[in-house]
Chain A
Amino acid sequence: KQEVTQIPAALSVPEGENLVLNCSFTDSAIYNLQWFRQDPGKGLTSLLLIQSSQREQTSGRLNASLDKSSGRSTLYIAASQPGDSATYLCAVRMNYGGATNKLIFGTGTLLAVQP
């Protein structure tokens, strides 16, 4: 059974700092991995999607990497801003179960960027 873990559970950094959020998964037979952001009381916003054949994806100040063999993904945020404060969730979609396979979510990292 796939288990997805995110470390740390909470992180507080000063504005301007570069930071890394970690996501690990126990079963490497993934189809893709998706990083989401969730603001308090809101829905999930998709940040980056990495296919199993890819090593990384970039969008603006965000860079996500994937090492499928070791079961790890990182989300790198450059030059953090107070507006980056949110909960960050990673989720994997497995490569079995056909097209109906579902996302398996991690536990989330609550990020606070202090001005």
Chain B
Amino acid sequence: DAMVIQNPRYQVTQFGKPVTLSCSQTLNHNVMYWYQQKSSQAPKLLFHYYDKDFNNEADTPDNFQSRRPNTSFCFLDIRSPGLGDAAMYLCATRRSTGQAYEQYFGPGTRLTVT
């Protein structure tokens, strides 16, 4: 089945130790998103790629970076994780052509910072 895949599902890192989360998709969607979700809150958009164009949200900390080497893969890099960065990180995709613009989410990566 076509889907959005996130690895790993659970990630533990130490305070200040760089970590990379990955997302891949078989939907061939040209738009990919990264969200941060903390407990009992709605997902918060960090940034998105429209094709190769990177769009950062104004309030996304510089500590968060992203790479999209090709259509299928997108990475979230946290350069120096703090305790406040512990959260669920969600990847999502959608097509920008056609009518629906339905957005699909991956299962998420739960990040713990010790």
A51 touches B99 (CB 8 A): yes
Stretch from A15-23, A31-39, A61-69 contacting the other chain:
A31-39
Nearest CB on B from A104, distance (A) = 9
Could you say which of B55, B100, B103, B110 contacts A100, with CB atoms under 8 Å apart? B55
B102 touches A34 (CB 8 A): yes
Kindly state the separation between the CA atoms of A106 and B42 in the bound complex, as whole angstroms. Answer: 7
Stretch from B43-51, B65-73, B75-83 contacting the other chain:
B43-51
Number of interface residues of B (CB under 8 A): 26
Instruction: Give residues of chain B (48-95) contacting chain A, Cβ–Cβ below 8 Å.
Output: 48, 50, 55, 88, 90, 92
Kindly state the separation between the CA atoms of A100 and B108 in the bound complex, as whole angstroms. Answer: 22
**Which single residue of chain B is at the shortest CB-CB distance from A48?**
B102
B103 touches A34 (CB 8 A): yes
Hey, which chain A residues are within 8 Å of B40, CB to CB?
108
B100 touches A43 (CB 8 A): no
Could you say which of A41, A44, A51, A107 contacts B105, with CB atoms under 8 Å apart? A44
B105 touches A31 (CB 8 A): no
Number of interface residues of A (CB under 8 A): 23
B103 touches A46 (CB 8 A): yes
Given A41-B88, A44-B105, A102 and B48 touching (CB < 8 A)? yes
A108 touches B100 (CB 8 A): no
Instruction: Give residues of chain A (1-52) contacting chain B, Cβ–Cβ below 8 Å.
Output: 31-32, 34, 36, 41-46, 49, 51
Kindly state the separation between the CA atoms of A89 and B102 in the bound complex, as whole angstroms. Answer: 14
B50 touches A100 (CB 8 A): yes
Kindly state the separation between the CA atoms of A79 and B77 in the bound complex, as whole angstroms. Answer: 44
Kindly state the separation between the CA atoms of A45 and B110 in the bound complex, as whole angstroms. Answer: 17
B48 touches A43 (CB 8 A): no
B100 touches A51 (CB 8 A): yes
A-B contact pairs, 5 of them (CB 8 A): A36-B105, A41-B108, A44-B90, A51-B100, A105-B42
Chain B interface (Cβ < 8 Å from any Cβ of A) = 4, 6, 31, 33, 40, 42-43, 45, 48, 50, 55, 88, 90, 92, 96, 99-108, 110
